[in-house]
Amino acid sequence: MSAQPRVAKLSYDRPDWSDHVRETVAELANVDGAVIMALQRLMDDFGYISEPALVLVSELLHLTPPQVFAVATFYHEFRLQKPADTVFMLCRGPACRVDGMVAVRKLLERRLGITVGERTADNRFAIESSGCLGICPHPPAMLIDGELAGRVTTEQLERLIAERSATSP
Ligand code: FES
From CA 50, how far away is CA 55, in angstroms rounded?
9
> How high is the pLDDT of residue 126?
96
> How high is the pLDDT of residue 167?
77
Residue 126 bridge partners (DSSP): 87, 119
From CA 121, how far away is CA 69, in angstroms rounded?
25
> How high is the pLDDT of residue 5?
44
Tell me, in angstroms, the distance from the centre of ligand 1 to residue 46's CA. 28
Interval 3-43: pLDDT, tens: 444 456 889 998 999 999 999 999 998 889 999 999 999 99
Max Cα distance, the chain (Å): 52
**CB 96 less than 6 A from any atom of ligand 1:** yes
CB atoms within 10 A of CB 108: 23
Domains of the chain: 17-74 (no CATH), 86-166 (3.40.30.10)
Q: Which atom of ligand 1 is nearest to the CA of 91?
A: 2
Q: Which atom of ligand 1 is nearest to the CA of 139?
A: 2
Interval 108-156: pLDDT, tens: 999 999 999 999 999 999 999 999 999 999 999 999 988 999 999 999 9
Instruction: From 136, 144, 152, give the residue whose CB has the most ligand 1 atoms within 8 Å, as the site to mutate.
Output: 136
Q: Which atom of ligand 1 is nearest to the CA of 93?
A: 1
Distances (CA, A) of 53 to 6, 34, 135, 168: 18, 15, 35, 28
Interval 32-68: pLDDT, tens: 999 999 999 999 999 899 999 999 999 999 999 999 9
Q: Phi, psi (5° rounding) for residue 144?
A: -115, 110
- Whole-model pTM? 0.74
> How high is the pLDDT of residue 1?
36
**CB 136 less than 6 A from any atom of ligand 1:** yes
